[in-house]
Amino acid sequence: QVQLVESGGGLVQAGNSLKLSCRASGRTSDAIGWFRQAPGREREFVAAISGSDSPTYNPLSAQGRFTIARDNAKNTVYLQMNNLKPEDTAVYFCAAARVMSRTADGYDLWGQGTQVTVSS
């Protein structure tokens, strides 16, 4: 069964770090994107990595604080999030696509999401 499973979310204080994982079963060479959605807001692009390990970031939310990386041996893509802020609070989703995209409609397979809550 082809699926994506996120893990690693939780409750942290501002300034701390979290590392999210997205484990893929099948389609392991696809581009993987991370998105987030806060209550009452649209889903927002955070970062993505291509099948050839080229990353791209949302400069408004992730640049300089978040790092995306892929471990092909574990079929897993990670999102390392440092210096977290209360405005980073959201459900974080990973998604797969044949071609890397910065928009949600570019992805056709989604995980269930993992909650990240940052307290001030």
Identify the three-state secondary structure at position 105: helix
pLDDT of res. 2 = 84
Interatomic CA distance for residues 117 and 77, integer angstroms: 21
Q: How many helices (H) and strands (E) does the chain have?
A: 0, 11
Give pLDDT, residue 77: 97
Q: How far, in Å, are 78, 86, 90 from residue 11 at the CA level? A: 18, 11, 11
- From first to last of the 120 residues of the chain, give the pLDDT tens digit: 789 999 999 999 999 999 999 999 987 889 999 999 999 999 999 999 999 999 999 999 887 899 999 999 999 999 999 999 999 999 999 999 999 999 999 999 999 999 999 999
- Chain centroid to CA 117: how far? 15
Cα–Cα dist 12/84, whole Å: 8
